[in-house]
């Protein structure tokens, strides 16, 4: 046993085997490097030849490409809100609006393009993209600065904030509208393409202004069509007067709506400087000094062209108002019941901020006794506390919404009750008047003529007021939203250039990658061939 331990040949056989393997690997690698160095001339010649062949094939592919001709028009969007992807009136904007189907269809028909191209190919040949060299340079600059490894967290946050601020100022809305020619479109006249590009922008601007109303506030105002002069002539005295009363109410609602727009109170139009306040006073005077006295005279005298028609109209109005009053009362009851049930549900107290609330007596000085001073101790349940606070905020918003609905429904009910009392009084007065009075006033030509002239005067005043309200609305939208009423401006004339599917830089990149791969393959091939030759020589030597 002692002899075995003292004999070094039997002590570490694995270590000796490892040394032998390492020696063999070193010999193999050394032979491989020497063999490659021995065949270096052949490797270099083969690499040059293969690289030349690859470059020749790449040149043949590059110069053999069919050129794609592009005709482009650069323009700038100049309306307010484009930086936030919104039109002046708040509607969402996208460059896809410019190339939408309605716009392109109109341009396609106006220029008779069906003789050159079908609509689908015409639409797919158009592209629009944003061009902003200043923004690209800014992104490159801050990308390099943020790539530094020694930046602290505060410095990185400061750079990101600075980049976002500068990016907002550099976001100039420059765009390029391009039309790409294919081989099939060789007969398409280039001057016509230039006209088509300009027409697309023109049609889009008109469509956005007239159809979408992007240069106007999103308000729908009444027009002259709310009231017909023929209906006033044919209708009964009271019905015609009530139509005028309803029209006055609608005009006053529009005036109140416009007065909420910033700057509307001081806005004036015309040579006389008519303002919304003037129109409001005019409508109130018409109702107070012209229409109401006329309605009072008709109500007291019971005059009517057709009493049956008037009574039928009043009964129908009373029926509708009673239904609306019942509906409003039911809505108020539902909202109040829901609000009471929601408040009676079990609710937790103030949210705990993740730990015990520590009351400090020294902080209670000057504070009422029922409001203890609290210092939150933030712990592991802080996230749960935030969720609870969010729930409390949601509950408060929900209760506020219910209260707003209760108030609004109550105000609507007040208006309904006013109209209900108004029509009920009219109905009672007309039904209490004897039939002879009706017949006498109906045959009184002077009385009928006076009512007709008063209706015409009120009607003319209302129509003029509607026109002036709409004029103020249009001018107010123009000066507040888009002073110049211009959505775009062409910055460069139409230009044409030719491109290839594979650009020169990309082709060079492909040549370099292919050449490196070929050289690597040559080295591997030579190594395999040398190894095979050496192994074959060793085998022959052993046989001999």
Q: Spell out the SS3 assignment of 443-482.
A: CCHHHHHHHHHHHHHHHHHHHHHHHHHHHHHHHHHHHHHC
CB atoms within 10 A of CB 58: 17
- How many helices, marked H, and strands, marked E, lie in the chain? 17, 9
3 state SS of 178: strand
Do residues 172 and 76 lie in contact, with contact meaning Cβ atoms separated by under 8 Å?
Answer: yes
Q: What percent of the chain has pLDDT over 70?
A: 75
What CATH number matches the domain at 68-132+172-215+487-499, 3.20.20.140, 3.30.70.20, 3.30.70.260, 3.30.70.1130?
3.30.70.1130
Rounded Cα distance, 415 and 413, in Å: 5
What tokens appear for 495 in the block? 């230009």
**Cα dihedral sign, 229-231-233-239:** negative
Instruction: Indicate the pLDDT class of residue 200, thresholds 50, 70 and 90.
Output: very high
The packing angle between helices 445-481 and 292-301, to 10°, is 150
Q: Which of 452, 465, 457 has the alpha carbon at shortest distance from 283? A: 465
How are beta strands 68-77 and 488-490 bridged, if at all?
antiparallel
Rounded Cα distance, 239 and 231, in Å: 10
Give the residue-averaged pLDDT of 311-334: 89
Instruction: Indicate the pLDDT class of residue 225, thresholds 50, 70 and 90.
Output: very high
pLDDT tens digits, 238-271: 889 999 999 999 999 999 999 988 888 888 888 8
Q: Which of 469, 474, 460 has the alpha carbon at shortest distance from 227? A: 460
Instruction: Indicate the pLDDT class of residue 354, thresholds 50, 70 and 90.
Output: very low
Q: What is the pTM assigned to this prediction?
A: 0.56
Rounded Cα distance, 82 and 172, in Å: 9
Low-confidence winner among 165-169, 192-196, 364-368 (lowest mean pLDDT): 364-368
Residue 375 φ/ψ, nearest 5 degrees: -115, 110
* 458 pLDDT higher than 80: yes
The packing angle between helices 504-543 and 13-38, to 10°, is 120
Rounded Cα distance, 468 and 460, in Å: 12
pLDDT on residue 541:
62
Residue corresponding to tokens 């509950």? 395
Q: Which of 87, 175, 78, 83 has the alpha carbon at shortest distance from 484? A: 78
User: Would you kindly state where each structural domain of the chain is located, as residue ranges?
Assistant: 30-65+519-530, 68-132+172-215+487-499, 225-342+402-481
Rounded Cα distance, 438 and 222, in Å: 35
Give the residue-averaged pLDDT of 315-340: 87
Do residues 477 and 469 lie in contact, with contact meaning Cβ atoms separated by under 8 Å?
Answer: no
Q: What is the length of the chain?
A: 544
pLDDT tens digits, 462-512: 999 999 999 999 888 888 777 666 788 888 888 776 666 667 777 888 888
What residues are paired with 175 via a beta bridge? 75, 130
What residues are paired with 76 via a beta bridge? 174, 489
Rounded Cα distance, 12 and 298, in Å: 129
* 361 pLDDT higher than 50: no
pLDDT tens digits, 15-56: 554 544 454 555 456 666 776 777 778 778 888 888 888 888
Rounded Cα distance, 463 and 227, in Å: 9
pLDDT top residue among 270 and 143: 270
Do residues 215 and 478 lie in contact, with contact meaning Cβ atoms separated by under 8 Å?
Answer: yes
Rounded Cα distance, 403 and 410, in Å: 10
Rounded Cα distance, 54 and 143, in Å: 36
Rounded Cα distance, 487 and 214, in Å: 10
Give the residue-averaged pLDDT of 131-146: 71
* 68 pLDDT higher than 90: no
pLDDT tens digits, 373-398: 444 444 546 556 656 666 666 777 77
pLDDT tens digits, 76-107: 888 877 777 888 888 888 888 999 999 999 99
Instruction: Indicate the pLDDT class of residue 300, thresholds 50, 70 and 90.
Output: confident
Residue 487 φ/ψ, nearest 5 degrees: -95, -25
CA distances from 419 to 13, 304, 321, 322, 455 (A): 113, 21, 8, 10, 21
- Measured in whole angstroms, how far is the alpha carbon of residue 322 from the centre of its chain? 43
What tokens appear for 105 in the block? 């269809």
247 secondary structure, DSSP code: H
**Cα dihedral sign, 58-63-68-73:** positive
């Amino acid at each position: 046993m002692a002899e075995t331990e003292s004999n070094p040949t039997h002590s570490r056989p694995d270590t000796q085997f490892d040394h032998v393997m390492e020696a063999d690997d070193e010999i193999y690698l050394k032979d491989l490097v020497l063999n490659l160095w021995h065949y270096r001339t052949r490797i270099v010649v083969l690499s040059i030849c293969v690289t030349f062949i690859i470059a020749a094939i790449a040149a043949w592919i590059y110069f053999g490409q069919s050129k794609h001709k592009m005709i482009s028009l650069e323009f700038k969007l100049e309306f307010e809100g484009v930086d936030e992807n919104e039109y002046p009136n708040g509607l969402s904007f996208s460059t896809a609006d410019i190339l939408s189907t309605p716009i392109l269809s109109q341009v396609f028909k106006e220029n008779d393009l069906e003789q050159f191209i079908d609509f689908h190919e015409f639409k797919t040949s158009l592209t629009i993209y944003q061009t902003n060299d200043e923004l690209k340079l800014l992104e490159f600059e801050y990308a390099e600065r943020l790539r530094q490894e020694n930046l602290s967290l505060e410095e990185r946050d400061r750079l990101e904030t600075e980049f976002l601020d500068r990016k907002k100022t550099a976001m100039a809305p420059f765009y390029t509208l391009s039309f790409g020619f294919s081989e099939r479109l060789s007969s398409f006249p280039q001057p016509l393409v230039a006209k088509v590009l300009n027409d697309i922008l023109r049609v889009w601007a008109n469509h956005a202004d007239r159809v979408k109303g992007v240069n106007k506030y999103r308000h729908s105002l009444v027009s002259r069509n709310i009231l017909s002069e023929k209906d006033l002539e044919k209708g009964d005295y009271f019905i015609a007067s009530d139509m005028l009363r309803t029209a006055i109410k609608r005009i006053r609602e529009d005036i109140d709506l416009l007065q909420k727009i910033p700057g509307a109170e001081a806005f004036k139009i015309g040579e006389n400087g008519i303002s919304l306040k003037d129109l409001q006073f005019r409508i109130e005077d018409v109702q107070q000094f012209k229409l109401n006295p006329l309605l009072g005279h008709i109500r007291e005298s019971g005059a009517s062209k057709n009493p049956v028609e008037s009574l039928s109209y009043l009964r129908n109005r009373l029926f509708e108002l009673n239904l609306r009053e019942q509906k409003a009362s039911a809505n108020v009851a539902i909202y109040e019941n829901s609000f009471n049930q929601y408040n009676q549900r079990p609710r937790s107290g103030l949210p705990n901020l993740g730990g015990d609330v520590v009351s400090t007596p020294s902080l209670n000085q000057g504070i009422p006794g029922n409001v203890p001073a609290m210092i939150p101790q933030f712990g592991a349940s802080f996230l749960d506390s935030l969720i609870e606070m969010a729930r409390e905020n949601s509950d408060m918003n929900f209760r506020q919404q219910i209260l707003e609905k209760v108030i609004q429904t109550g105000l609507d009910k007040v208006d309904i009750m006013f109209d209900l009392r108004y029509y009920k009084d009219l109905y009672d007065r007309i039904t209490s008047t004897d039939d002879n009075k009706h017949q006498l006033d109906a045959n009184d030509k002077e009385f009928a003529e006076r009512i007709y002239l008063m209706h015409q005067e009120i009607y003319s005043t209302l129509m003029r007021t509607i026109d002036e309200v709409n004029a103020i609305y249009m001018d107010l939208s123009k000066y507040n939203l888009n002073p110049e009423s211009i959505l775009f401006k062409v910055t460069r004339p139409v230009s044409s250039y030719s491109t290839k599917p594979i650009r020169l830089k990309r082709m060079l990149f492909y040549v370099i990658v292919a050449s490196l791969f070929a050289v690597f393959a040559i080295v591997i091939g030579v190594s395999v061939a040398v190894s095979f030759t050496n192994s074959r020589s060793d085998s022959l030597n052993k046989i001999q």
